[in-house]
Structure 1
């Protein structure tokens, strides 16, 4: 059976109960490493008179290779598709109209004999209303940047007061830990305990490579400090959500998108309205962790700073203006207080963590700006003392294990 026919059959089976007949299926892209495909579906009501309206939908069809028990990357992908399906089946409908996302039409989830899981979702076609697609590793226009910040601050603000109602036992743990306890079938789980895919607990091999790269300036992030832990480990401990007990950032935890970049959004023609998609890495975290990637990978450098970027850079007016826009809207949407000094501390900590991932994985985006900002942050005694104190408190709660 050809992939296209398979997608057609799946779409037909899912849309038939809705009184819809599939007219066409076009493959938009294949998923990473042959894990499936994304297709545009056109459908009409059944029976279909000549004047019937044609509906456009998106089918995400997941047909992964067999389970690989000790492959963290493979396991992360399988779990991420299940997290995304949970988001669309359960969480998306809770969002108010001013925080638009695609709407779920139908979905299916089927364990297979080889230990893998096949999944499919049909969602509304965002491009019908938001026709301008973000491009891969491309910067946004200033108008689009402001719209993206407004969407993120609203999304984070909406979920911030609601996160405490999530069952901690149903959150998805780091991949290898999760598969050891629950297997690859996470249907009883919700979103990631730790949103995103760059956090240190699942990037130990990259961290080890950075620790061995003594010629790199950022090797210093892996060297031990007074606490016998590295700056990277200390930062990760402060940012990491926990299933139980106290954490330095617990009261500020919200639901984050987890993979914020221009490629994962559409905008209106004017750029004044934006909608995000691709919720595979949605989970708990600080909203500034989403901003760190957005600012580095999709915001024009001219919006962050003027002129050539020096080697060491404090926060400039442009960066502050964007952060204040986010911060004000976040507080308004959530109804929660967030002291500016605490917010900036969280922001700077998120930048250091994001640089750790880029230094170990590969730099892209506003690299010079990110490195200059982190050099300045690491020089600050106030920041260093605060992050050390928070990490030490977290370590006590975690039974002397910082990660």
Structure 2
């Protein structure tokens, strides 16, 4: 495929020559690679090619290798191509994403040609954030959520995020604590039935944000799990990914204020100020639910993960205790449970498979 992919890059950019320069990273479970190409005779010096190649044998690094996992990944790459083709251009400059130069499919392989964010000034990557850096990412998320509030996720996951319950029955079955397992449908129902829905990034971890040298501006990448949902899925997941336990407990309330202030400002700027108060009230109530739901996923998927700690456990169990008191637990991931206090029912939520 080397000559064919090089031709794809050259033709899409109008370059006289396209030279494969370096592999930036291999994709999860051996599903391809992300490569930088250097160009001659084009408008830009370099571009990024995300080249998806489905393996003959599945090899999940955590052991979750089955057809359900494979089909989820196949769908995720289709969603990402749809995101860049149909949605990325609608993002405001304050929620920066790579410009899509071309998409293509050759047989079972997917090609996604993107702007090189390093060349655009977003060359820094982080695995842990200061409070100020976390605030910049929360500004990005707030503006992204405001931009797409009320949009139906056409071509994307009906319910965004890679870890929500409908996509993870195997991990649900592996949960050892019966109370967490029983509460899972109620947690999921509260989030999926939120009245105020937007597009979520779906994998808003710190590794998917790119920073300028002064870390005062950020861009986001990796939209395989973009789709509809409550913005708290992104916020709860992000805070858990970029802060250690001590920082999360100490800074969480302040960082939530930063997010909601930015969300309100963005909603007013986009002519959606009439719903700003209602969105904030609902989503504030759902933030601990999203935290508990992600904890539910982790203890089934990888219970010794570093994100499973005393604070995340206490937060999750407090929500689960409330579910038990309200009688909202059930027996399986296919069940429909009533929403937790603070959420509002809606018929628009559809789970991805």
Band the TM-score falls in, shorter-chain normalisation: 0.7 to 0.9
Q: 3-state SS of the aligned residue for 1:59?
A: strand
**Structure 2 gap ranges (5+):** 59-65, 330-336
Q: Residue 288 of structure 1 aligns with which residue?
A: 232
**Structure 1 gap ranges (5+):** 1-5, 47-52, 168-189, 223-229, 241-247, 307-317
- CA shift for structure 1 position 67: 10
Aligned counterparts, 1:206-285, within 5 A: 206-210=171-175, 213=176, 218-222=177-181, 230-240=182-192, 248-249=193-194, 251-285=195-229
Q: Residue 334 of structure 2 aligns with which residue?
A: none
The CA distance in 2 between the partners of 1:383 and 1:131, in whole Å, is 49
Q: Which of 70, 77, 81 lines up with 1:74 in the alignment?
A: 70
Aligned counterparts, 1:194-209, within 5 A: 194-209=159-174
With 56-65 and 339-348 compared, the bigger mean Cα shift is at 339-348
Q: 3-state SS of the aligned residue for 1:39?
A: strand
TM-score by length of 1: 0.73
CA contact (8 A) 2:98 2:116 kept: yes
Cα deviation 1:258-312 (Å, max 9, x = unaligned): 1111211111112111111000000111111111111112124444334xxxxxx
The CA distance in 2 between the partners of 1:157 and 1:28, in whole Å, is 32
Higher Rg of the two aligned structures: 1
The CA distance in 1 between the partners of 2:327 and 2:91, in whole Å, is 38
Runs of 4+ in 1 over 6 A off after TM superposition: 385-388, 391-398
CA contact (8 A) 1:296 1:366 kept: no
- Is 1:298 the counterpart of 2:242? The answer is yes
Cα deviation 1:61-89 (Å, max 9, x = unaligned): 11213699x81111111111111111111
- CA shift for structure 1 position 322: 0.9
Q: Residue 22 of structure 2 aligns with which residue?
A: 26
Q: Residue 333 of structure 1 aligns with which residue?
A: 266
Aligned residues: 323
Q: Residue 365 of structure 1 aligns with which residue?
A: 307
CA contact (8 A) 1:345 1:383 kept: no
CA contact (8 A) 1:149 1:326 kept: yes
With 24-33 and 259-268 compared, the bigger mean Cα shift is at 24-33
- CA shift for structure 1 position 25: 2.9
Q: Residue 13 of structure 1 aligns with which residue?
A: 8
Q: Residue 141 of structure 1 aligns with which residue?
A: 130
Q: 3-state SS of the aligned residue for 1:337?
A: helix
The CA distance in 1 between the partners of 2:316 and 2:28, in whole Å, is 32
CA contact (8 A) 2:145 2:231 kept: yes
- CA shift for structure 1 position 26: 1.7
RMSD: 3.0
- CA shift for structure 1 position 33: 3.0
The CA distance in 2 between the partners of 1:276 and 1:327, in whole Å, is 19
The CA distance in 1 between the partners of 2:225 and 2:197, in whole Å, is 15
- Is 1:122 the counterpart of 2:64? The answer is no
Q: Residue 51 of structure 2 aligns with which residue?
A: 61
Q: 3-state SS of the aligned residue for 1:319?
A: helix
- Is 1:320 the counterpart of 2:260? The answer is no
Cα deviation 1:350-389 (Å, max 9, x = unaligned): 1111110011112323622211222333344899479964
- Is 1:95 the counterpart of 2:91? The answer is yes
The CA distance in 2 between the partners of 1:396 and 1:44, in whole Å, is 52
TM-score by length of 2: 0.82
- Is 1:153 the counterpart of 2:142? The answer is yes
CA contact (8 A) 1:297 1:364 kept: no
Q: Residue 289 of structure 2 aligns with which residue?
A: 349
